[in-house]
């Protein structure tokens, strides 16, 4: 995720800002068996991928906070 966030730093050159990166990578990062099954097609599949891309975009926009060592230690200490 940090790598993708770093790629977004070059969006002025590549036009791959976090939204575009999320659209491209979300189906691979958040693969869903429901989407791959026959019962998810058309609009339902599109909506599911849209939700995935919103989640990935959020993660990319907040990667430093979500994956910081400080947050990890707070979670670890709070869980114990």
**Angle at the Cα of 59 from the Cα atoms of 27 and 14, rounded to 5 degrees:** 75
Q: State mean pLDDT over 18-45.
A: 81
Mean pLDDT, to the nearest integer, of 59-73? 85
**Per-residue pLDDT tens digits for 10-19:** 999 999 999 9
Please state, as a whole number, how many other Cβ atoms lie within 10 Å of the Cβ of residue 29.
15
8 Å CB contact between 21 and 7 = yes
How many CB atoms within 10 Å of residue 48?
Answer: 17
- pLDDT range class, residue 37, cuts 50, 70, 90: low
Give the model's pLDDT for residue 25: 96
What does the pLDDT read at residue 4? 96
**Structural domain range at position 30:** 2-79
Measured CA to CA in angstroms, residue 48 lies from 11, 27, 28, 70 at distances of 26, 9, 13, 32
58 pLDDT exceeds 90? yes
Q: How many domains does the chain have?
A: 1
């Amino acid at each position: 995720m940090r790598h993708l966030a770093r790629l977004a730093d070059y969006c002025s050159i590549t036009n791959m800002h976090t939204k575009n990166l999320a659209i491209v990578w979300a189906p691979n990062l958040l693969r869903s068996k429901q989407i791959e099954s026959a019962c998810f097609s058309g609009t339902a599949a599109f909506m599911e991928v849209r939700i995935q891309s919103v989640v990935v975009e959020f993660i990319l926009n907040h990667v430093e906070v979500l994956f910081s060592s400080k947050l990890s230690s707070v979670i670890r200490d709070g869980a114990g």
